[in-house]
Each structure stands twice: as structure tokens, then as C-alpha cells.
Amino acid sequence: MGPGLDDRATQVLRYIVEDYIATAEPVGSRTISKMMGQALSPATIRNIMADLEEMGYLAQPHTSAGRVPTGAGFRYYIDYLLARRTLARGDVDQLNRAAEEGNAPADELVRQVSRLLANLSRQTSVVIVSRPDHQVLRSVNLMRAAVDKILLVAVMQGGWVQHRLIEEEPGLTGDDLEKINAYLNELAGGLTLPQLRVRILTELRQEKAQYDAVMRRALTVGARALEDTASGEVFVEGRANILDQPEFAEDVHRLKRILRAFEEKSVIFRLLDRAMDSKAIQVSIGPENPVEDLGDISVVASGYRQGESAVGSIGLIGPVRMDYSRVIPLVEYTASLLTTMFGQR
């Protein structure tokens, strides 16, 4: 029992929330009375429901209808009443198998895990990867992409790969690129991309760079290659699961608005950004979301890490009446799995 509600009001609110999650329909007093084994009469329950509505935990869509939980009602339920389910052994085994592809590229591993999370939850799964600029480099390589173009391939410790094309760099031979790569990798040890650029600019100012043509060319090309910063990656799986939700399927305009949001990288970042640096699960319910037009969805997300560095966050997006008792442990386990996976790479 949480603050502000007595035992009877707490029970009524819990039953209403759980029935609404299961049916997506307003809940009446007779339904609650039966669920409680008729320990309270429908008339008594109606009075309690009226009190809960006055407190902002319930709403009545129509005069003759039952009640539905508000965002505040769901928040109270999650904070004080939620009983999390233990993950089924089969779900755990499937997630573990998806993460066992240790030699696969990092982005493919994340896609596999995200796709499975969407299938298990029947919600839309979203993964964001923090800007690779925040991740420590494993190697930096320049290669000829065209007569006047050089391709930078930067590989991070977690396995993420960044490609950047450098225009107008004619005249570099294969031998030149080999020497430049050796020098840049010597500088890059233990650094992120922005730190490497600062190091390169510092080296350019050193007197020794003025007398070594190869060194200066390496530093100049390296500085150009690192001018642009990447905004990170977004992977969305299970978009079609939104179509299975009655509150969206019956409202085409709402559905279009939500599906459009899934195509906007900046929107997804805003929805999951708060979870990036947090080690605890984050649940944003309806109006709590940082995106104003998405007050009718909930986001359950958690960050995942590589050692002490935040790598990104993973979450599920769905209706406010998501089955939080199942969704929260699913997201928590998947995030911990990604953390373990990247810690081993």
C-alpha cells in the first residue's frame, strides 16, 4: 500500500489497472466486486472509484461507462502495487541464445536481441547506441575509396564501426596510407574519437610536425577525418505490434502519429535518452514523456554499458496500459545481457 490510499482503495485501484491492461475496456464496479470475491459490494466500490477519480487516479470516459486508470493511476500502480513476474525459462533461453553470436558485428547483435525483445513482449523495441564519440577506439584505418577520396574506418572497443568519407585527398599512395595508419593508431590508444582529434591538433602544433612531411600529412588527414561527429544509431523493431493494440488500431490519426515518431531519430533519442546514464529501469507513462505529441504511449527503458562507459539504452514502446509486470523484467534482463555481451567483446 502506497501513501495516500487505504487498503480498500489500493485493492480497487490495483484490480482496475490490471483488468484494464488485460481488456483495454473501462472497468465497472460489478467486475471489481466479482474479482474481489464480493468482499465489497458494487455500491461501495462505486464510492471508492469516485474518490479515486477525484484524486486523479481514475477517469470516466463516458457517463455510463466504468473507469480507466489515468497516467497518475498507472504511476501509483507501478511505484507501489506492481508485482513483477519472474521471466519464463524459455524467454531467458531465447535471449541468451540471441546474444551468443559473439563474433557478429555489434550492430547485428543489437538488432537480433532487439528483434527478439519485440517478439517476446509484442511491443515495439527500440535500441539507441550512444554517439560512438563516447566510446574508446580499438583501431583507426584510412583506405582509398576513389581517386580523390579517403575512407576512415574507426572500430570501437565494443565492436561498433564508424565510416567517414574524406573528400579531395588526392596523391596519397598505399605506402603513405600505411604509414599514416600506423601513426594514427599509435596516437589513438585508449582515446575516444574527440580525444584523438584533440591529440592530433596538439601534435600539429608541435615543432617536430613542421619537419616531418609524413607525420604532418597524417595529422592533417586525421584532423579532417574527425571533424564530423556522429549522432548515434537507432534500431526499431516490431513496429507492426502497434497495430495489435486496440486503442491505436481504432484511431488512424493516433496510429499515424506514433508510426511517424518511430521514423524520427531525434524523437527516439529524446524518449530513451534519460535511461542512457541510469543504471535503474526508467518508466515514462503517457504525459511524462519528453515528447509532447506522444502522451498516449509509455516507454520502459534501461541503459546498457561497456565497463563503466554508457553505450546506449534499450526499451519498449507501447500503450500506457502495457503489461508492466512482464515488460519491466524483460527490459531489465535484456539490458543486463547487452552489458555482459559488450563487456566480453
Each residue's pLDDT tens digit, 236-259: 999 989 888 888 877 888 888 888
**Phi/psi of residue 174, each to 5°?**
-60, -35
Q: What is the DSSP string of 10-51?
A: HHHHHHHHHHHHHH-S-B-HHHHHHHTTTSS-HHHHHHHHHH
Residue 95's pLDDT is what? Answer: 92
CATH architecture of 7-81: Orthogonal Bundle (1.10)
CATH topology of domain 89-130+232-343: Beta-Lactamase (3.30.450)
Q: Regarding predicted confidence, which is higher, 118 or 226?
A: 118
Residue 1's pLDDT is what? Answer: 58
Q: What is the mean pLDDT of residues 107-126?
A: 91
Residue 152's pLDDT is what? Answer: 82
Question: What's the CATH number for 133-225?
Answer: 3.30.390.60
Percent of the chain with pLDDT over 70: 92
For residue 337, pLDDT beyond 60: yes
Q: What is the mean pLDDT of residues 303-310?
A: 78
For residue 286, pLDDT beyond 70: yes
Q: In whole angstroms, how far apart are CA 60 and each of 56, 63, 65, 322?
A: 11, 7, 7, 19
pLDDT-derived band at 103, boundaries 50, 70, 90:
low
Is 133-225 the same fold as 7-81? no
Q: In whole angstroms, how far apart are CA 129 and each of 111, 213, 287, 310, 338?
A: 11, 38, 25, 9, 11
What is the per-residue pLDDT across 58-100, written as a single tens digit (0 to 9) for each?
999 887 778 999 999 999 999 999 988 899 999 999 999 888 7
Q: What is the mean pLDDT of residues 196-214?
A: 75
Instruction: Calculate the average pLDDT of the chain.
Output: 84
Percent of the chain with pLDDT over 90: 37
Q: In whole angstroms, how far apart are CA 275 and each of 26, 332, 338?
A: 32, 11, 14
What is the per-residue pLDDT across 130-167, written as a single tens digit (0 to 9) for each?
656 667 888 888 888 877 788 888 888 767 777 777 77
pLDDT-derived band at 106, boundaries 50, 70, 90:
confident
* Range scoring the smallest mean pLDDT among 2-16, 74-88, 173-187, 265-279: 265-279
Residue 3's pLDDT is what? Answer: 77
Phi-psi region of 307 (alpha: psi -120 to 50; beta: other; left: phi over 0): left
Residue 131's pLDDT is what? Answer: 59
Q: In whole angstroms, how far apart are CA 326 and each of 69, 99, 167, 183?
A: 19, 20, 50, 51
Q: What is the mean pLDDT of residues 101-107?
A: 70
For residue 23, pLDDT beyond 80: yes
Pairing between strand 137-146 and 149-156?
antiparallel
For residue 296, pLDDT beyond 70: yes
222 contacts 180 by C-beta, under 8 angstroms: yes
Q: What is the DSSP string of 137-185?
A: EEEEEEEEEETTEEEEEEEETTS-EEEEEEES-TT--HHHHHHHHHHHH
Helix, strand or coil, per DSSP, at residue 265: helix
Domain ranges of the chain: 7-81, 89-130+232-343, 133-225
Residue 207's pLDDT is what? Answer: 63
Pairing between strand 282-285 and 297-306?
antiparallel
